[in-house]
Structure 1
Amino acid sequence: MSNTKVPKILITGATGQVGSKTIDFLLSNTDIEIVAAVRSPEKAAPFTEKGIATVILDFDDESTHLPALKGIDRILIVTGYTVDMLRQSKAILDSAKRAGVQHVVHLGACGRDDTTVAHWAWHQLIERYIEWAGFSYTHLRPETFMQNILSYGGKKAIENGIIHAYVEGARLSWVDVEDVAQVAALALSHPEIHAGKIYRLGYDAVTFNEMAALMTSIVGKPFRYEPLSPDVFLQNMINAGAEMAYMGCVYDHWKRYAAGTIPGADDTFDNFPEITGKQPVKLADFIKKHKAEFDY
């Protein structure tokens, strides 16, 4: 019998889009052990039913950090959409260092290295902290999630063929969450290959008018884009009681998209086949995959 230790991988954000899909891609890998981080026993149940180990981890409760990280070799860090992500990331990374975690895969945000979009830059500061702390690392910088055109902020993004966004005629770079999760799973499974890499992930660049034309062609019903002022977004966030330090930054970046003042807003990349051996999802593929959800 082999005494070789199987690496344990902790997935934070396990109930979210990227975390849950990353787990799906890791399930067939018998050379690692998956551990899902959840905030309550109730949220552990779906993982337990699949035979996936769970630990209680609350980014805001530092007493949960070291117990959750015990025996963990690699970690996927996915934080939420508040300015607290800075404090939370530092705290969990400090605990991970004490616990002996070796490899960190961090889900960051869009942007070139010299970005001045605030919440994108925050993620880059976390990247630098990971490096300074001496971890082996893989940094993921996904562009705009295609899933945002299904729903955004808990609401359906397209109603009766009308697409709303806050960016005027800007061209954005897009990526399917499943493609992000594939890269995350590979980086966690094979840190010897992916250590020290920054992967920018965006594989199709279109405007919302071009998106509407694609949807019209694929779904077979008319779609059109009606841009909204970023001020509408800001008021919606205020009305919803959102954390405004973060959402104020998002408001500012919508304004900059609309004004065309974000360098590289439509950057796309050719790294996906090299990383995964597969072709990335393009927007037309995504619309076809979700045709029933876009139909009305």
Structure 2
Amino acid sequence: MKKILITGATGNIGSEVIRYLGALTTDAEIIAGVRDIERASLKLDQLPNLTFRVFDMEDANSFKSGFQEIDILFLLRPPHISDVDKYFKPLLASAKTSGIQRIVFLSVQGAERSKVIPHNKIERLIRDFGFAYIMVRPSYFMQNLTTTLRPEILESRTITLPSANAKFNWIDVQNIGEAVAHFIQSFDQYINKSYEITGLENKGFPEVVDLMNDVLDIDLKFNSLNPISFYFKKKKEGISSGFALVMTLLHFLPRVQSEPNVSNTYQELTGKTPTSIKAFIEREKDKFFINR
């Protein structure tokens, strides 16, 4: 029985990968790599056939036991980790030494063109170490509205970013998790290739804010800052330098890049249509209100 290690297992994407993979396969042991097994088991208690191992990307002492007898590693980059040489280079070296040969890496759309973002360097390291790989490059997460951007939405009914009118392609994390599960399940079919996972809509934040106002009946406003002002705003809010820089680049670079590609990879993998932005807002509407 092959063993699959899922990093970021308690996060939005990791938990969706586990959920969909559990529905797809009965001939694999799905292992959640987590810092706190007791806490994680409570959060993931509804997921069947799941085992746990202690694994912490910021603690190299957890790598050897975490990687033992693993056949496929699902790897993602936690938002707060931006120093690739400090964290991912030793992690990948340990994975190689431990005998792991196959990695599915959650990258980002356009990573191959943007050497300034961490995902690009991680992709290159995976290739340099000689792993068999699948690079999954999703577009902009709809869930950013209900996580990273949510505090400002609740506090002041604004979204402040350095994106101006730039277009983003919007994808539901549930769609990403389902696609990744298919890649893991049929790894050899997709080996050593990169795949963009996108939704069907390219919209800028002003358009999405208008849609949110229509669906939620609220008065949400979009505020665009220049990238330097935005970076220091995030720093002042207590966000680490690395995370603030990645967040700035993520939302500024689309202003100077071509409009995102729209791929049909999700439809080909699953036979389904990706979630629309409107459907996502309606599904998650309670998260945009306090006390709901």
Q: What is the TM-score normalised by the length of structure 1? A: 0.85
The letter of the residue matching 1:11 is I
Q: CA deviation at 1:276?
A: 1.9
Provide the rounded CA distance (Å) in 2 between the counterparts of 1:73 and 1:54. 15
Deviation string for 1:40-97 (max 9, x for gaps)? 3443432684552111112222221111111111111112233234432222222222
1:289 aligns with 2:287: no
Structure 2 residue corresponding to 1:227, chosen from 204, 221, 224: 224
* Segments of 4+ moved more than 6 angstroms: none
Residue of structure 1 in register with 2:204 after alignment = 207
1:111 touches 1:264 (CA, 8 Å); kept in 2? no
1:1-296 superposed matches below 5 A = 6-28=1-23, 29-46=25-42, 49-50=45-46, 52-80=50-78, 81-111=80-110, 113-116=112-115, 118-119=116-117, 122-152=118-148, 155-157=151-153, 162-203=158-199, 204-257=201-254, 260-261=255-256, 263-294=257-288
Q: CA deviation at 1:295?
A: 5.8
The letter of the residue matching 2:81 is T
Identical-pair percentage: 27
Moved more, 7-16 or 193-202: 193-202
Deviation string for 1:96-132 (max 9, x for gaps)? 222222320111123152324x11xx31222122123
1:108 touches 1:139 (CA, 8 Å); kept in 2? yes
1:9 touches 1:32 (CA, 8 Å); kept in 2? yes
Q: CA deviation at 1:136?
A: 1.8
Q: 1:68 to 1:252 in 2, by over 3 A?
A: closer
The Cα RMSD (Å) is 2.5
Q: 1:247 to 1:27 in 2, by over 3 A?
A: same
Q: CA deviation at 1:175?
A: 1.1
Moved more, 225-234 or 131-140: 225-234
Q: 1:291 to 1:129 in 2, by over 3 A?
A: same
Q: What is the TM-score normalised by the length of structure 2? A: 0.86
1:38 touches 1:56 (CA, 8 Å); kept in 2? yes
Q: When the two structures are aligned, how many residues end up with a matched partner?
A: 285
Q: 1:256 to 1:195 in 2, by over 3 A?
A: closer
Moved more, 79-88 or 276-285: 79-88
Q: 1:283 to 1:158 in 2, by over 3 A?
A: farther
1:218 touches 1:288 (CA, 8 Å); kept in 2? yes
Gaps of 5+ in 2: none
The letter of the residue matching 1:97 is K
Gaps of 5+ in 1: 1-5
Provide the rounded CA distance (Å) in 1 between the counterparts of 2:237 and 2:218. 32
The letter of the residue matching 1:214 is L
Moved more, 126-135 or 232-241: 232-241
Helix, strand or coil: the match of 2:261? coil
The letter of the residue matching 1:115 is S
